[in-house]
Amino acid sequence: MATFYDLAAANRRKSLLLVLIVVGILAAFGASAGIALSGSIEGGAPVAVGAFVVGFLLTLGAYFSGDKAVLAAAGAKELDPSAGREELELDNIVSELSLAANLPKPKVYTINDTALNAFATGRDPQHASIAVTEGLMRTLDREEMSGVIAHELSHIRNFDIRYGLLVAALVGSLALLSDLVMRWAFWGGGRRRGNDREGGNGLQAIFIVVTIILAILAPIAARLVQLAVSRQREYLADASGVELTRNPVGLERALAKLAGDREVLEVATKATAHLYIINPVKHFEERSAGFLATHPPLVDRINRLRALRRAKPLESLAER
């Protein structure tokens, strides 16, 4: 039977594979764009290399400072344990569970928002941070908050935080390249090339079409692969979080409360939605139309936790 360590190792292998797939898509997209622009196979190489270099630089930037950008985008402020009872309790929970997980204590931040949510970020356990909304801190009891913090510490221990930063940068690189290609096509790049062919460079015509198709499909494909792995990471973080607390009920109750929360987390974006413990974009929001599901259904996550204590599964969250 696979242990949590086996699952975490498999998780890291999937992360590497995903990064390689996205890098491959980026390089292929760049090569196709180069051929479309130059009309020759040789012309594709420099653009492919350029696309790879841009992706590498963005990934490098995300590795070293992406967590700071995520925290700044969320408006996160470092926790002051002396500010009140809830702040002190949160600090104590993080300290206790960090010891249980054999991890350095991450920095703790709060987000000034009444919505219920939390996330972890950073490049490794030595450079990690956890952020919780003030609404979450004020609403959950100690048992429930312990479940949430254990979940986020599991993301840190499993190196999910590094994966989140790196892949977001690579997917962002693809989106940037796609936007440039679509602007080129919109402003008549393909038509000008077609006029210059005079008799026709068939190869170039084919790759103009291929590049425009890739500009539409490549970011979607990369995002779908990313989200498929992200959902599995949430299940693993739930399970390994329970391993830390030895109590599935706390996280189960916390997820149920989060599921019933109708408050909108305004600071969440497409780039950061996958980091949160639950999808921060509510289904009733107008902006939800542009979001793909970043998390598995909450009822499935709760039922997996209920199975750990042999409780009857729920058909829907309304049964709670």
Nearest CA to 242 out of 153, 316, 320, 314 is that of: 153
Between CA 50 and CA 98 the distance in angstroms is: 42
Q: Where are the alpha helices (DSSP H) in 102-201?
A: 134-139, 142-157, 160-186, 189-197
Q: How does DSSP classify residue 276?
A: B
Residues ≥6 apart with Cβ < 8 Å to 123: 63, 64, 66, 67, 161, 162, 165
Residue 78 a catalytic site member: no
- Provide the 8-state DSSP code for 41: S
* Cβ–Cβ < 8 Å for 263, 115: yes
Amino acid identity, position 263: E
Nearest to 146 by CA among 210, 217, 95: 95
Are 233 and 10 a contacting pair, CB within 8 Å? no
Sign of the torsion angle spanned by Cα atoms 286, 287, 290, 295:
negative
In three-state secondary structure terms, 133 is strand
H helices, E strands: number in the chain: 10, 4
CA 40 to chain centroid, in Å, comes to 37
Residue keyed to tokens 């997980």: 101
Strands 128-133 and 118-122: antiparallel
Please identify which of the residues 144, 152, 234, 252 carries the catalytic annotation: 152
Q: How far apart are CA 69 and CA 104, in angstroms?
A: 22
Catalytic residues: 152
